[in-house]
Amino acid sequence: MKNKYRTHNCGELNITNVGEEVRLAGFVQTIRNLGKMMFIDLRDEYGITQIVLNEKADLVEKSQDLNKECTITVTGKVLERSSKNDKLPTGEIEVVATDLTVLGKCRANLPFEINMEGQNVREDLRLEYRFLDLRNEKIHQNIHMRSKILKDFRKEMDNLGFSEIQTPILANSSPEGARDFLVPSRLHPGEFYALPQAPQQFKQLLMVSGFEKYYQIAPCFRDEDPRADRSPGEFYQLDFEMAFAEQEDVFKVIETIIPNVFKANSDWKVDEGPFLRIPYQEAMEKYGIDKPDLRNPLIICDLTEIFEGTEFKAFQGKTVKAIVTEKGEEKPRKFFDSMSDFAIRELDAKGLAWVKVDQEMNLSGGISKFIDEDRKKAIFEKMRVKPGSSIFFIADEKHKATKIAGEVRIKLGEEFDLLEKNVYKFCFIVDFPMYELSEEGTIDFNHNPFSMPQGGMEALKTKNPLDIYAYQYDLVGNGLELASGAVRNHDQEIMIKAFEIAGYTIEDVKKKFGALFKAFSYGTPPHAGAAPGIDRIIMLLAQEVSLREVIAFPKNKKARDVMMGAPSTVFPKQLEEVHIKLDLKTEKDEK
């Protein structure tokens, strides 16, 4: 049966169609009224075709109702254009209309231009009118890319023999490292479901159930503060798990699917497996961060020992980190001052010391007068300093100095334009600490509480908890954490001991993870897995800087859906049904 609205889409007509009677439908992108003749750029998601309205009497009245972004269907004849547009696939032809029908009138003034490239439109306004924002070609193509990438991931996992299995959305509360979204139960007063931060327990239970290769495109929910590379509230991940598997088995899966999906969706150079493995401690020492961008060649160097006994008070008793950049001698004093201002203002640093190295390898500027000949020689040797370089120094307590140095490294990479272009570089960060100190000084899980400690029960019993490593790993790509995973703890006794160290009693474990605890009594196979983040991967492939540009209906920076008005208040009756009374503090109460 023929479609009554169109015979072709707006992106497929070309010179071979000249003379044909066609019907098109789409949005009116532009109108150029020349009096006796009107030109319309008609747009659908496939492309743009130029429509010509001449003086034919029965179209004059209809054309009066036309405005930008209304939807129309047009019947007409394909003709060769006298002035061709080589920027459009349809630029050699135009359709001279013989009939036109307005299908959907645009009855309100547009809040912004749809094709708004280069415009400075407030993001909340774009999100309020997201249904219009999604008509923009770039955003529209991002969502199409998202669809294709999801299909590509599914194809890769199917090819590797994984089974797609859905796990529950209404689940139990779990200490995954963020706040849960709680859902009150109507049938069970005073009790709550939690939206899953990840399908962690369920996928482990699937391994106990004998499903050896599981995956799903899993929705996850975490009540975290939003940021550019983190979608507030909800996000999607390619969650997978394998039975009878070790860390390297998981790496092989990632090293297969990630390059294949990236190569299928980008013309950039893509790292092939095996990816570089970097222990967590080494990453912090060399890059000052556990998600290093390997396109940036700068390396952080620890000069603490070299500056022992220094007379320079700012370095006395401090951890000293340094970064050397080539061609730094060319930079003016203003640049070094701006870097220091950046460190103080953005990183809460006490300052950023520096020196220049001239072509004769002499030091000048900054703190050069505080570096004697012996220290200069030691620095040059350790950092492999070249003529014309500059060296930046950070001095603080160890943790803070490491963190500041990591951010300075990123900034210097940008300022010196050092990042390798048009390439995706990946690495695995491995050997994460099993535990960390909380702000209150107690022992807490560093990463994932369900991970297997390296050394097993022996390590848990004999080692300082802060010295225990876990079989945990992250995939990092171009400075973004793209996946996290672990070899899972599948032993009931190790599980009890691991949680005991973090302050949980056996009763806590049984209560919070009852199904998992019970399942571990029935012959659990060793298992391991990971979860690449779908949203971040798409953001990277779309070359966007915000996740909101690759999600159809995202929340804003305050975790609000300004289009639908969520979150919102509900009727008292709805609260009664789920047995909830509100106790909201007013501004007066706060005072």
Q: Is 52 strand, coil or helix? A: strand
* Higher-pLDDT residue of 360, 173: 360
Instruction: Give which of 16, 74, 82 is closest to 49, Cα–Cα.
Output: 74
Q: Could you tell me whether strands 390-396 and 213-222 are parallel, antiparallel, or unpaired per DSSP bridges?
A: unpaired
Q: Report residue 513's pLDDT band, with 50, 70 and 90 as the boundaries.
A: confident
What is the per-residue pLDDT for 36? 78
Q: Tens digits of per-residue pLDDT, 292-350?
A: 999 999 999 999 999 999 989 999 999 999 999 998 888 899 999 999 999 999 999 99
Top-level class of domain 296-419: alpha beta
CATH pick for 15-104 out of 2.40.50.140, 3.40.50.10860, 3.30.70.20, 3.40.140.10: 2.40.50.140
Percent of the chain at pLDDT exceeding 90: 83
Which amino acid is present at 385?
A: V
What is the per-residue pLDDT for 175? 57
Token pair belonging to 348 = 């809460």
Token pair belonging to 110 = 């547009």
Instruction: Give which of 411, 508, 494, 481 is closest to 451, Cα–Cα.
Output: 494
Average pLDDT value for residue range 286-292: 97
Count Cβ neighbours within 10 Å for each residue of 327-341 and write b for 16 or more, e otherwise.
ebbebeeeebeebbe
Average pLDDT value for residue range 164-190: 87
Q: Tens digits of per-residue pLDDT, 368-416?
A: 999 999 999 999 999 999 999 999 999 999 999 999 999 999 999 999 9
- At residue 534's C-alpha, the angle toward residues 228 and 418, to 5°, is 55
* Higher-pLDDT residue of 58, 5: 5
Q: Report residue 58's pLDDT band, with 50, 70 and 90 as the boundaries.
A: confident
Average pLDDT value for residue range 93-103: 94
Average pLDDT value for residue range 278-305: 97
In the predicted structure, residue 233 carries a pLDDT above the cut 90:
no
Q: Contact at 8 Å (CB) between 210 and 203?
A: no
- Contact partners, residue 355, CB within 8 Å, separation at least 6: 363, 364, 365, 366, 367, 368, 371, 390, 391
* Higher-pLDDT residue of 569, 229: 569
Percent of the chain at pLDDT exceeding 70: 97
What is the per-residue pLDDT for 57? 57
DSSP string, 270-321: EPPSSPEEEEHHHHHHHHSSSS--TT----EEE-TTTTTT-S-GGGTTSEEE
Q: State the Cα–Cα distance between residues 343 and 333, nearest whole angstrom.
A: 16
What is the per-residue pLDDT for 402? 97
User: CA–CA distance from 495 to each of 200, 250, 351, 450, 524 (Å)?
Assistant: 15, 22, 45, 8, 13
- What are the extents of the domains in the chain? 15-104, 140-270+449-572, 296-419
Angle of helix 137-159 relative to helix 534-541, nearest 10 degrees, comes to: 120
What is the per-residue pLDDT for 590? 55
Which range (221-230, 305-314, 456-465, 568-577) has the least confidence?
221-230
Q: Report residue 586's pLDDT band, with 50, 70 and 90 as the boundaries.
A: low
Q: State the Cα–Cα distance between residues 90 and 358, nearest whole angstrom.
A: 58
In the predicted structure, residue 242 carries a pLDDT above the cut 60:
yes
What is the per-residue pLDDT for 448? 83
Q: Residue 311 burial (CB < 10 Å; 0-12/13-18/19+)?
A: exposed
Average pLDDT value for residue range 257-285: 97
What is the per-residue pLDDT for 177? 59
Q: Report residue 535's pLDDT band, with 50, 70 and 90 as the boundaries.
A: very high
C-alpha 419 chain-centroid distance: 19
Q: Contact at 8 Å (CB) between 285 and 302?
A: yes
In the predicted structure, residue 462 carries a pLDDT above the cut 80:
yes
Q: State the Cα–Cα distance between residues 280 and 312, nearest whole angstrom.
A: 31
What is the per-residue pLDDT for 119? 72
Average pLDDT value for residue range 531-536: 96
What is the per-residue pLDDT for 585? 76
Q: Could you tell me whether strands 47-53 and 71-80 are parallel, antiparallel, or unpaired per DSSP bridges?
A: unpaired
Q: Is 405 strand, coil or helix? A: helix
Q: Contact at 8 Å (CB) between 212 and 242?
A: yes
User: CA–CA distance from 99 to each of 21, 395, 523 (Å)?
Assistant: 11, 75, 73
Q: Report residue 438's pLDDT band, with 50, 70 and 90 as the boundaries.
A: confident
- Report the mean per-residue pLDDT for the chain: 93
Token pair belonging to 433 = 């600490």
In the predicted structure, residue 253 carries a pLDDT above the cut 80:
yes
CATH pick for 140-270+449-572 out of 3.30.930.10, 1.10.150.120, 3.30.1330.90, 3.30.1240.10: 3.30.930.10
What is the per-residue pLDDT for 228? 63
Average pLDDT value for residue range 80-107: 93
Which amino acid is present at 337?
A: D
Q: Contact at 8 Å (CB) between 33 and 60?
A: no
Phi and psi dihedrals of 28, rounded to 5? -80, 110
